[in-house]
């Protein structure tokens, strides 16, 4: 067994997996990774089940050190500067940390959350079948809170000797697709305003809900309704008219009208929108949403087929083997240089 020590961790860095399901009827939120595709891709690279527990790194930086042996890791999700001993580390590719080596992660550049998967997963005691951290509820393992500097994770020692890389489809930059309702009739013409407006993610957002900044969405009647069930992606509109998109740490029920629901296939893409960036919503039919969900499920199933081995290549050997010009030499080796002798007069 090896260890991975958190040398530094931003406030939104925690252990997350696929979430805990089957207990929402008791009021227990599912939690889990906000970007399930990125989690699955990182896990695929180190040979784990797609929704095994990994480290969800928020928009701020973090650093981790391998102890008591080698640790094999992989990064996916929001790209950021990543280095080991001053050398860059690629995303969507596995990397083995030697004993004592540090992986340093900078601020997220084109998203919000990155995922650091570890070969063998994170060890801990599941709560209702999951290690996913929900800090408000005090749930999660091995720490029921965001990671802090000095935390030590027990992990498997690296076994694989060949690294792998995975190619993922390009992320769409189109509108976030939603199915209207279930209480869109509480907003009348304001539903058109909701769909044609530009929105921003508020800096006050968190894993419980993303607060939206934009026009005021007015209710036709009172903003309070009889509390009913919510799902990931439910868009509630409270009394101030500023929508809130519910995320994995949400409550399982709520008493504000829900104007629409982000479709399952776009939840990860929505979660990766950085605070302050603009986006729009687009209404689609239930049939369209189901087709997109099936396509996402197919993509998750084919991730292992997208992974390929990455080998370190010696350029001199590669040129020799290619036999491009009969032979190949190292231009930096003075012993291979040819000298020019001028012809006799």
Average pLDDT, the chain: 91
**Contact assessment for residue 241 and residue 218, using Cβ atoms and an 8 Å cutoff:** yes
User: What pLDDT score does 274 carry?
Assistant: 95
User: What pLDDT score does 60 carry?
Assistant: 95
Using the predicted structure, report yes or no on whether residue 58 has a pLDDT greater than 50. yes
User: What pLDDT score does 335 carry?
Assistant: 59
User: What pLDDT score does 341 carry?
Assistant: 59
Angle formed by the axes of helices 36-45 and 286-301, nearest 10°: 10
Using the predicted structure, report yes or no on whether residue 312 has a pLDDT greater than 90. no
Quick one: pLDDT band at residue 1, thresholds 50, 70, 90? confident
Asked, as a colleague might, if the bond just before 263 is cis with ω within 30 of 0, I would say: no
Using the predicted structure, report yes or no on whether residue 20 has a pLDDT greater than 50. yes
Quick one: pLDDT band at residue 314, thresholds 50, 70, 90? very low
Least confident of 99-113, 132-146, 318-332: 318-332
**Contact assessment for residue 12 and residue 147, using Cβ atoms and an 8 Å cutoff:** no
Using the predicted structure, report yes or no on whether residue 253 has a pLDDT greater than 80. yes
Domains and their CATH numbers in the chain: 2-166 (no CATH), 176-284 (2.40.100.10)
Using the predicted structure, report yes or no on whether residue 336 has a pLDDT greater than 80. no
Angle at 294 between CA 289 and CA 300, to 5 degrees: 125
User: What pLDDT score does 161 carry?
Assistant: 82
Q: What is the pLDDT of residues 262-297, one digit of tens each?
A: 999 999 999 999 999 999 999 999 999 999 999 999
Q: What is the pLDDT of residues 149-192, one digit of tens each?
A: 999 999 999 997 899 999 999 999 999 999 999 999 999 999 99
- Residue whose tokens read 């409550």: 251
Using the predicted structure, report yes or no on whether residue 70 has a pLDDT greater than 70. yes
User: What pLDDT score does 311 carry?
Assistant: 72
- Residue whose tokens read 């994995």: 248
Nearest to 118 by CA among 57, 58, 170, 168: 57
**Contact assessment for residue 155 and residue 122, using Cβ atoms and an 8 Å cutoff:** yes
Percent of the chain with pLDDT over 70: 90
List of E strands, 189-257: 199-201, 209-213, 228-229, 234-236, 244-246, 253-254
If you average pLDDT over residues 4-17, what whole number do you get?
A: 96
User: What pLDDT score does 224 carry?
Assistant: 85
Using the predicted structure, report yes or no on whether residue 50 has a pLDDT greater than 80. yes
Using the predicted structure, report yes or no on whether residue 324 has a pLDDT greater than 70. no
User: What pLDDT score does 318 carry?
Assistant: 44
User: What pLDDT score does 316 carry?
Assistant: 45
Bridge partners of 67, per DSSP, are: 3
């Amino acid at each position: 067994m090896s260890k991975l020590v958190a040398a530094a961790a931003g406030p939104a860095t925690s252990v997350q997996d696929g979430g805990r399901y089957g207990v929402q009827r008791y009021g227990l939120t599912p939690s889990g990774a906000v970007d399930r595709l990125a989690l699955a891709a990182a896990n695929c690279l180190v040979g784990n089940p797609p929704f095994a527990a990994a480290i969800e790194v928020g928009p701020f930086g973090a650093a981790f050190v391998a102890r008591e042996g080698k640790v094999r890791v992989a990064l996916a999700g929001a790209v950021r500067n990543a280095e080991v001993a001053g050398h860059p580390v690629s995303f969507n590719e596995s990397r083995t940390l030697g004993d004592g080596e540090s992986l340093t992660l900078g601020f997220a550049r084109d998203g919000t959350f990155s995922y650091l998967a570890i070969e063998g997963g994170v060890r801990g005691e599941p709560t209702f079948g999951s290690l996913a951290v929900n800090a408000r509820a005090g749930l999660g393992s091995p720490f029921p809170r965001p990671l802090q500097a000095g935390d030590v994770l027990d992990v498997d020692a690296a076994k694989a000797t060949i690294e792998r890389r995975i190619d993922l489809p390009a992320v769409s930059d189109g509108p976030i697709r939603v199915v209207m309702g279930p209480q869109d009739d509480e907003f009348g013409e304001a539903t058109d305003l909701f769909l044609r407006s530009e929105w921003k993610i508020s800096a006050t957002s968190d894993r419980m809900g993303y607060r939206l900044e934009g026009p005021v969405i007015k209710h036709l009647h009172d903003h309070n309704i009889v509390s009913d069930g919510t799902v990931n992606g439910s868009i509630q509109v409270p009394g101030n008219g500023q929508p809130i998109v519910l995320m994995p740490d949400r409550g399982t029920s709520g008493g504000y009208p829900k104007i629409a629901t982000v479709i399952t296939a776009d939840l990860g893409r929505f979660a990766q929108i950085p605070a302050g960036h603009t986006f729009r919503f687009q209404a689609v039919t239930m049939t369209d949403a189901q087709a997109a969900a099936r396509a996402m499920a197919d993509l998750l199933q084919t991730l292992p087929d997208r992974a390929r081995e990455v080998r370190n290549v010696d350029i001199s050997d590669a040129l020799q083997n290619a036999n491009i010009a009969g032979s190949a030499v190292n231009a930096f080796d003075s012993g291979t240089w040819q000298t020019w002798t001028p012809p006799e007069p």
